[in-house]
Amino acid sequence: MQFKRVVVTGLGAITPLGNSVTDYWNNLVGGVSGAAPITRFDASKFKTRFACEVKDFNPEDYFDRKQARQLDPFCHYGIVASMQAVQDAGINKENVNPDRVGVIWGSGIGGLKTFQDEVLNFGKGDGTPRFNPFFIPKMIADICSGHISIMFGFRGPNYTTVSACASSTNALIDSLNYIRLGKADVIVSGGSEAAVNESGIGGFNAMHALSTRNESPQNASRPFDLDRDGFVLGEGGCCIILEELEHAKKRGAKIYAELVGGGMSADANHITAPHPEGLGARNVMRLSLEDAGMTTADIDYINVHGTSTPLGDVAETKAILGVFGEDAYRLNISSSKSMTGHLLGAAGAIEATACILAIQNDLVPPTINHFTDDPALDPKLNFTFGKAQKRVVRAALSNTFGFGGHNASVIFKKFVD
């Protein structure tokens, strides 16, 4: 069958770099770090005392006080990002059929703060069960997609993908497939996460996954640097409106880019460590190219998973060289996580947005915090260190890899009618 084409018609973002798409993009290309000492709780006894928090965000600016208290922060971020994106896309009850508009969201953890707080409160008591009636609806990972559909009255496919740090990329791939198979006209997709709390920091510290560079938080996330020592935890939400091309044209929507393919694979290797040779990462990039009907020569930019971990950055680089060969040396490669930190289940959506905007603006965001070359990495690769680089970006690939060995990649390209 002939697949329908899928385009991006709206964007929304709540991030450590700003609470709008414009602020996020300007700070991203400006090389601004979102890392700072933690303000959410007293982190003085933790090994890591900093994170990339969302700043200047008050949920009561968007929800009444009662409603705000009935939502976990991961829903605050996701719902507000979706409000921005739906408005940006110009979607309303008159120009869409709500039965054919879906919401497919991604979150790796969901309402971690809610779960933590409820269990702590119970532990402080005498054993009598006293739980908030909103405990379960606030905590479950799928609830954000439900809230978004209820808010807008969208009655199409509705669920949440959970694949750790690949979650929102999986959501985008599922959305792509629903639309190109003709099962929906529009999908509100993306992801949100809010794990900057005692459980999130403590849990990742126990795994030795986080940077402990407490003396210089803004320089802590340093992908591909010799002295990288772990990732920086981030939080936020991002929404991407995906739409069938003819439907978008009929209602006169602006088009940012076209989503042309996606791939999924498993490392089948280890619960947290990547395959040492990047086997799963190789497979997922190959599958993405195959799904898009493209070759390595068609890609100009890769927004890498690039978490700033000793093993992960090397494995991903090996995978890129294994797939792209000589074409790897004409690519721009960069890691948004050097600035945003790692948004876990929301990482795929916010990094896909970086790809979309790089294509639209012909500008590649940088990888910041590079101080010392790593001899394990090929020095001929262009990691876009230090400053954004102007170039024509015909197509961009975004990689996301999650604990459990989950790999997902998507490819966007310039829209040409």
Assign 320 a pLDDT band (cuts: 50, 70, 90): very high
To the nearest 10°, report the CA torsion of 11, 169, 149, 60. Answer: -60
Q: Which of 342, 355, 370, 406 is catalytic?
A: 342
- The whole-number average pLDDT for the span 249-274 is 96
Does the structure show a pLDDT above 90 at 342? yes
pLDDT, tens digit, for every residue of 120-179? 999 999 999 999 999 999 999 999 999 999 999 999 999 999 999 999 999 999 999 999
Does the structure show a pLDDT above 90 at 336? yes
Query: What is the chain's mean pLDDT, rounded?
Result: 97
Residue ranges of domains in the chain: 1-417
Q: What is the pLDDT of residue 54?
A: 98
Q: What is the pLDDT of residue 303?
A: 98
Superfamily name with CATH number, domain 1-417 = Thiolase/Chalcone synthase (3.40.47.10)
Quick one: the chain helix, strand, coil %, rounded to 5? 40, 20, 40
Q: What is the pLDDT of residue 28?
A: 98
Does the structure show a pLDDT above 80 at 56? yes
Helix, coil or strand: residue 289: helix
The answer to whether residue 165 is catalytic is yes
CA distances from 67 to 106, 144, 147, 267 (A): 22, 13, 11, 41
To the nearest 10°, report the CA torsion of 149, 151, 154, 157. Answer: 0
pTM, two decimal places: 0.97
Q: Residues in the chain, how many? A: 417
Q: Which of 305, 355, 370, 406 is catalytic?
A: 305
Strand partners, 103: 158, 188
- The whole-number average pLDDT for the span 286-314 is 97
Structure tokens given for 314 = 């090397």
Q: CA-CA distance, 55 to 166, in Å (whole number)?
A: 24
Q: Are the C-beta atoms of 182 and 4 separated by less than 8 Å?
A: yes
Pick from 73, 75, 71, 87: which is nearest to 11 by CA? 87
Q: What is the pLDDT of residue 159?
A: 98
The answer to whether residue 75 is catalytic is no
Ramachandran category for residue 169: left, alpha or beta (phi over 0 → left; psi -120 to 50 → alpha): alpha
Assign 1 a pLDDT band (cuts: 50, 70, 90): confident
Helix, coil or strand: residue 46: coil
- The whole-number average pLDDT for the span 327-352 is 98
List phi, psi (to 5°) of 374: -100, 120
Per cent of the chain over pLDDT 70 is 100
List phi, psi (to 5°) of 117: -65, -40
Q: CA-CA distance, 289 to 398, in Å (whole number)?
A: 12
List phi, psi (to 5°) of 239: -125, 135
The answer to whether residue 147 is catalytic is no
Q: Which of 165, 238, 239, 355 is catalytic?
A: 165
pLDDT, tens digit, for every residue of 63-91? 999 999 999 999 999 999 999 999 999 99
Assign 33 a pLDDT band (cuts: 50, 70, 90): very high
Q: CA-CA distance, 158 to 326, in Å (whole number)?
A: 42
Structure tokens given for 386 = 């230090």
Does the structure show a pLDDT above 90 at 276? no
Pick from 351, 377, 374: which is nearest to 364 by CA? 351
